[in-house]
Amino acid sequence: MLIKNCNIIFLNSTEKGNVLIENGKIKAINPTENYSGEIIDGEGLYLSPGFIDVHIHGAGGYDTMDGTFEAINEISKTIVKHGTTSFTPTTMTVAASDIRQSMSVIAKAKNEGTDGANVLGAHLEGPFISPKAIGAQNPNFLMAPSIENFNEIVGEFEDYVVSITLAPEVDGAKELTKYLSEKGIVVSMGHTKATYEEAKQAIKCGACHSTHLFNAMTPFAHREAGVVGAIFDSEITTETISDGIHISYPSLRVAYKQKTTDKVLLITDAMMACGMPDGDYSLGGQDVVVANGAARLRTGSLAGSVLTLDKAIRNVYKNSDYHIHEVVKMATYNGARHCKIEDKKGLIKEGYDADLVLFDEDINVKYVIVNGKLVHKA
């Protein structure tokens, strides 16, 4: 397959050119030999690496916690239409046996493949979080952070855990953070009421990321900098739900300026109502009402989102002064680095996996290619 006449989004620039795909990989950029196979004319379109979502619970009426391969596959098929070519299905604070069941189907989806976006492994959001920053998680299933409890929730599927969100101030969290980070699992601070000092201590223990910046964490204030202050005052990465609901655009701009576009990942935190009409849904076994683009528990707490990554890119691009390649990096390369696959995904580079998206100047997705195959055409 040859994609010609497109604006190729590289890590640090955008340049007009052609890209040749062969055997699921990017074979050449601006190839010189004549080509007679399938050609996509990308005139007027941008060619981006496929988007990578490292925090997503569900889409298309399905939830990671459904615990079935069908659910993971249907989520993959829904989000691929929006340019997401790889993701880490995200679990919730639920019964240990339910998390373990979801881990087994995430492992299967990674090993056997899906009909949509690639599954890279799991993100465990909870159950080692603070009851005081519960958000839309279920307080009835909180567990104490310990190696024993971690082993109980993941069973034999530890190798499929990419990242885990925990509250660093909860007893046992420091020890578990050290243990998991030494194994190469990304430990992320989230759903936490930690002080600045407790968050900085967690970073010393190996925490290297933070979950949905500003949401379900102690805010920045002039006398107590909180978890937000610790994130800003360190080199760890963070993630934003850039739907204009979870965080205002001025606050997003402040965060990007502080952390730089190298240290922020665009995520959706989407739940099953993503790609579906407004109405009644559930998240981690709790009732959720979706109205006017916001998903909330009946208590009014935000319960994930119905965001897609193409929309997140559009929102940031339209509400900031960043070049398109800088915004796209936050939805592609940064996620690949987070998942430790930046040697094969997240860039348009010879030898890399051909996970690609073609979109117009308004970030409307026109073509999506996964592993060198055209899987969606608008």
Tens digit of pLDDT for each residue in 234-270? 999 999 999 999 999 999 999 999 999 999 999 999 9
Instruction: Give, for 291, the enclosing helix (H) or strand (E).
Output: strand 286-291
Catalytic, out of 53, 66, 243, 269? 269
- Portions of the chain given CATH number 3.20.20.140: 51-343
Which residue, 123, 102, 111, 136, is CA-closest to 53? 123
Q: How far apart are CA 178 and CA 247, in angstroms?
A: 31
CATH homologous superfamily for the domain 2-46+363-377: Urease, subunit C, domain 1 (2.30.40.10)
Q: What is the mean pLDDT of residues 287-308?
A: 95
At 285 the pLDDT is 84
312 marked as part of a ligand binding site: no
Is 49 within 8 Å of 330 (Cβ atoms)?
Answer: no
pLDDT at 221 over 90: yes
C-alpha 188 chain-centroid distance: 13
Confidence of residue 284 (pLDDT cuts 50, 70, 90): confident
255 marked as part of a ligand binding site: no
pLDDT at 346 over 90: yes
24 marked as part of a ligand binding site: no
pTM of the model: 0.98
At 348 the pLDDT is 98
pLDDT at 306 over 90: yes
Domain 51-343 bears CATH identifier 3.20.20.140:
yes
| Active site annotation includes 362 | no
Percent of all residues in the chain with a pLDDT value above 70, rounded to a whole number: 100
At 145 the pLDDT is 98
- Portions of the chain given CATH number 2.30.40.10: 2-46+363-377
Q: Which phi and psi (to 5°) does residue 369 adopt?
A: -120, 125
Over residues 139-191, the pLDDT tens digits come to 999 999 999 999 999 999 999 999 999 999 999 999 999 999 999 999 999 99
